[in-house]
Amino acid sequence: MPEYYSYDAGKAHAVALSNIVYPGPSGNNYDSGLSDRQLEWLRQDIASVPKNQLIVLASHSPLLEFFYNDTHETDPLEEIYKILEGREVISVAGHTHMSENLREGELMAGWLDDVGEKGLPFTHLTVPAVSGQWYNGRVIEEGYPTSVQRDGTPPGVLTLDIKNTEFRERFTATGDDGSDQMALGLNSPTYRARFDGYKELPGRAPAPENPNAVTQGELGETWLTTNFWMGATGSTVKVSIDGGETTQATRSQSITAGDVPLIGAEYTDPVATLEQLVHGGGVHDRTSHLWRLLLPTNLAVGEHTAKVTATDVHGQEYTETITFEVTG
C-alpha cells in the first residue's frame, strides 16, 4: 500500500495523508507534518477533483485541535488550507485518544497564526480511540476496560454517513448500540475537592458512596453536567428537573475569539473523572463538549430526576435521565 493515496466513493473524494514525521524536525521523536513531496502530490490531487465533490481529508494526527491547541498541528498548515480553499472539506484524524468536533469559524488562541481571525475553514473531527485511554481503567464484566479518555469520552468508533456532499458524524461507544451519546453527573464542591486532592494520584482515590448526591448547602454551587461526546458549536442541551420547566444548559468552553482551554475541576465531567481517580488512567481535566446547569437552591431533601435532551448540529436528539439525591 502506498504511504499516501486518494480514491473516490460516490461524490466524496477521500484523501489519506501520512502526517507523522520521524524523527521530528523540532527535535522531538516525531512531529506532525507533510514532506514537500507529499504536499506537491496533495496540490495536484486536489486540483484534479471536481468542485462539486466533498473532500474527506484523513490523517493520523489532527491538522490542529482544541486540547493541544498551542502545541500540536500539522505543518505546513497554512499551505494545506490554501490548497483546500473554496472546497467542501471535512478533516478526520485520531492520535490523541479523545473526541473533538470543531466546526467552521471556531477559533482558539493557538490557531491564530494559521487560520487567522476568521477561524477554522471547515469541520475538523478528532476520533475517539477503540482502545480509549490506552486500555487503562477498570475491566467490566463484559471483558473490556472502561478506558475513559482525557476529554471524558468512552472508547468507541466514529462513523461518517455521507450522501452526495453532505456528511453526518455518528459515535458508537464500545458495547453500545449508538443510542448512548452523553454522560450525566453532578459537579459539586465535594466532587471538586476530591478532584483537586487526587488528580495527581489516579487510581488511588476511594470510591464515593453516592456520586449523585449533594447537600442542600451545596445546591447553589453544584452543576448538573452533560458531557455530550460529539457535541459542538451549534449543539444544544436542555434540562427539565422533576418534570418542570425546560432550561437550556450552558457550554462550559467557548471556542471563539482566540479562547484558551479552561482547565480544572469546574470544567470536568464527574462521571469520567471519578472513574479515572478511583480506577486509574489519564485524568480528564478539560473538554470542548461539556454543558452545565446550576441546580436550583430550593430543591427539597429527597430524590429528584432530571431529563436531559441533547441535540447535535444535524438536529438529531438524544434524551437521557439522571436520578440524584439532595441530603440535609
* Contact present, 170 and 199 (Cβ < 8 Å): no
Residue 255 CA to residue 232 CA, distance in Å, equals 10
Residue 208 near residue 324 (C-beta atoms within 8 A): no
Rounded mean pLDDT of 118-125? 96
Cell triple for residue 36? 514537500
Helix (H, G, I), strand (E, B) or coil at 194: helix
The pLDDT tens digits for 267-293 are 999 999 999 999 998 899 999 999 999
- Is the pLDDT at 24 greater than 70? The verdict is no
- Per-residue confidence (pLDDT) for residue 222, from 0 to 100: 98
Q: Where do the domains of the chain lie?
A: 5-127, 182-327
Which pLDDT belongs to residue 277? 96
Is the pLDDT reported for residue 149 higher than 80? yes
Instruction: Give yes or no for a contact between 328 and 315, defined as CB atoms under 8 angstroms apart.
Output: no
Please check the confidence at residue 257 and state whether its pLDDT lies above 90: no
Q: Give percent of the chain above pLDDT 70.
A: 99
Mean pLDDT across 159-173 = 94
pLDDT band at 32 (very low <50, low <70, confident <90, very high): confident
* CA distances for 183 relative to 41, 214, 291, 316, angstroms: 43, 18, 10, 17
CATH number of the domain located at residue range(s) 182-327 in this protein: 2.60.40.10
Residue 324 pLDDT level (bands cut at 50, 70, 90) = very high
Residue by residue, DSSP assigns 58-98 as E-SS-SB-STTTTT-B-BSHHHHHHHTTTSEEEEEE-SSSS
Position 109 scores a pLDDT of 92
In the chain, the percentage of residues whose pLDDT exceeds 90 is 87
Rounded distance, CA 261 to CA 131, Å? 25
Question: CA–CA separation, 7 vs 169, rounded Å?
Answer: 20
For residue 309, the surrounding DSSP H or E stretch is strand 302-311
- Distance of alpha carbon 7 from alpha carbon 231, whole angstroms: 29
pTM for this model (two decimals): 0.95
Strand partners, 228: 182
229/68: higher pLDDT: 229
- Mean residue pLDDT of the chain comes to 94
Query: Do 112 and 96 touch, CB atoms closer than 8 A?
Result: no
Cα–Cα distance between 231 and 181 in angstroms, integer? 9
Which has the closest alpha carbon to 125: 252, 289, 285, 241?
289
Task: For residue 212, give the C-alpha cell.
Answer: 449523585
pLDDT (tens digit per residue) in 199-255: 999 999 999 999 999 999 999 999 999 999 999 999 999 999 999 999 999 999 999
Calpha distance 215→143 (Å, rounded): 36
**pLDDT at residue 258, rounded to an integer:** 81
**Residue 54: pLDDT above 90?**
yes
Q: Are 179 and 173 in contact (CB under 8 A)?
A: no
Q: What is the DSSP string of 203-257?
A: T-SPPPS-TTEEEGGGGGG-EEEEEETT--BTBEEEEEETT--EEE-EES----T
Residue 273's H or E segment, with its range, is helix 270-279
Quick check: 26 pLDDT over 80?
Answer: no
CATH number among 3.20.20.70, 3.40.50.1820, 3.20.20.120, 3.30.750.180, domain 5-127? 3.30.750.180
